[in-house]
Structure formats: C-alpha cells, structure tokens
Structure 1
Amino acid sequence: MDKAEFFDKNIFQNLKNLNTGFDSDSTQYFSEADFETVLERIENFGIGIYEIKPRLEEDFLEVKVNEDYRKKATDAKWYKRAFSDYKKQHANLKFSASYKVSDKLLNRQNSSDDEELSKK
C-alpha cells in the first residue's frame, strides 16, 4: 500500500475533498470540521504534519510549518495550535497539509491487509 492509498483508506475516508482544481489534483482540501477529523486520525496513527496550508475562498494564506513552533512533525501540539490559530483568524477556511508517514506504518498496514485477504 502506498501513501495515497493509506490516506484514502484510513485518514480521508468519508470526508469531502474541496479541491476543485485550484491546486494539484493530489492535494486534498477539507472544511474546518473535516480537517479536525483528519487531525484526530493523524494523531491516532502517529503520523506527522510538516505544514498546514489554509485557503480562504480564492486566496492562499500563510502556511504554518512545524519548525515555526519548534516541534517535531509528529508532535500533535504544534498542528493543533496552528489549526486553532487559523480558526481564530478566519471562518470558512479550507485546509490541506503535507504529511510524514513512516515506511514502518505503511508496511504494517500492508501486512494487516494481507492477513485480511488470507482469511477470506
């Protein structure tokens, strides 16, 4: 399983991608409520976030990165604080992020998928 498949199956499942062509097709944007769900799922899997990219209608806003907060990408404190800061500044933002996923996590997911298939 590659990173995109992992995210579609485990992180972005049942969430609406709001990217209507204003960014790369592979970049998914979410409403505030859906992005909050993304952050919860990311934290549960121990995935890191390098940067958060907000968008207000047609405008890209300032990107926040983990180094701005002097935290590791996997430290949930930084991205929760950044998300909170954005919400205080603007309403109705769309959010995207770049993620750090370990090969170990992807390999573990592949193993569990293989086990599921062998049980059938």
Structure 2
Amino acid sequence: MYTMEKTEFLEQNIFQNLKNLNDGFDSDSIQYFSEADFETVLERIEQFGIGIYEMKPWLDEDFLDIKVNEDYRKKATDPKWYKKAFSDFKKQQADLKYSASYKVSDRLLNRKSASEKAAESEALRTNEE
C-alpha cells in the first residue's frame, strides 16, 4: 500500500491554491503564507484534524516570535491553541508571513486523497459501462 509523505499530503490537501511567500529567506521545505492564506490553512487543517506544533510569523526578513502548543497547555491538534496564537499575532502586528510545523497522523497519510478516490471510482464506472 502506498503511504503518502507528509509534505505531499500538505501540498495536495492544505496548501492547494495558496501562494508560498518563501522566496529563499528560509529553508525551501518551509512554506510561508499571507495572513489571509494562513487563515485558510488553519481552516483546512482543522477539517482534517491536523495539529500544529509551532507557529512562526516572519516580519521584514526576521522572525517575530514563535508560539508552540505547550505555551497554551493544549495538544497540537487542539484548534483552540493555534487559533488563539494566530489571533494574538494578528493583534501584535499586521501583514505578517506565517509558517508552522504540522502534525499529520499516519492514519491520514495512509488514506488515499479525495482526488485519487474520485479518479478510481470514475475509472470503475467507465469500465462498468
């Protein structure tokens, strides 16, 4: 059975149609998003039950601060902590670029993506006709 990689899962299900603002100021593997796009990221990860270990906003080529789930005495998958952290950052400073480290469960990675399932069922229907 094929197991999807965490980065692949995030690309296909969470970061889809969002603009990565990392233009080389940090590691290539870390994606940064505008405030509006990061809000979309948070909505999507909550739907999937994905957690966030830490959230890092970036301001003018520098890290502003880091918030981690332990600061809020919450599990990484508890949306209360990351929504509160995001809200705190937004109040502190407008127009930040946001990144996070994500906790994606093996159960999610082992599940086929919705698009793969749709393609398979379409192929089955076509074969049955």
State the TM-score bracket (shorter-chain normalisation).
over 0.9
Q: 1:110 to 1:13 in 2, by over 3 A?
A: closer
Q: Which runs of 5+ in 2 are unaligned?
A: 124-129
In the TM superposition, residue 109 of structure 1 has moved relative to its aligned partner by 2.5
SS of the residue aligned with 1:50?
Answer: strand
Per-residue deviation, residues 29-63 of structure 1 (Å, max 9, x unmatched): 00000000000000000000000010011111110
SS of the residue aligned with 1:52?
Answer: strand
SS of the residue aligned with 1:109?
Answer: coil
Please list, as runs of the form range in 1=range in 2, the aligned pairs for 1:47-66 lying within 5 A after superposition. 47-66=50-69
Equivalent-residue separation in structure 2 for 1:112 and 1:94 (angstroms): 29
* Alignment counterpart, residue 76 of structure 1, candidates 79, 82, 93: 79
Please list, as runs of the form range in 1=range in 2, the aligned pairs for 1:1-120 lying within 5 A after superposition. 1-109=4-112, 113=116, 116-117=119-120, 119-120=122-123
TM-score by length of 1: 0.93
CA-based RMSD of the aligned residues comes to 1.6
Task: State the identity %.
Answer: 75
Equivalent-residue separation in structure 2 for 1:55 and 1:111 (angstroms): 32
Q: 1:109 to 1:23 in 2, by over 3 A?
A: same
Larger Rg: 2
Per-residue deviation, residues 54-94 of structure 1 (Å, max 9, x unmatched): 00111111100000000000000000000000000001100
* Residue-pair matches, total: 120
Letter in 2 for 1:52: M
TM-score by length of 2: 0.87
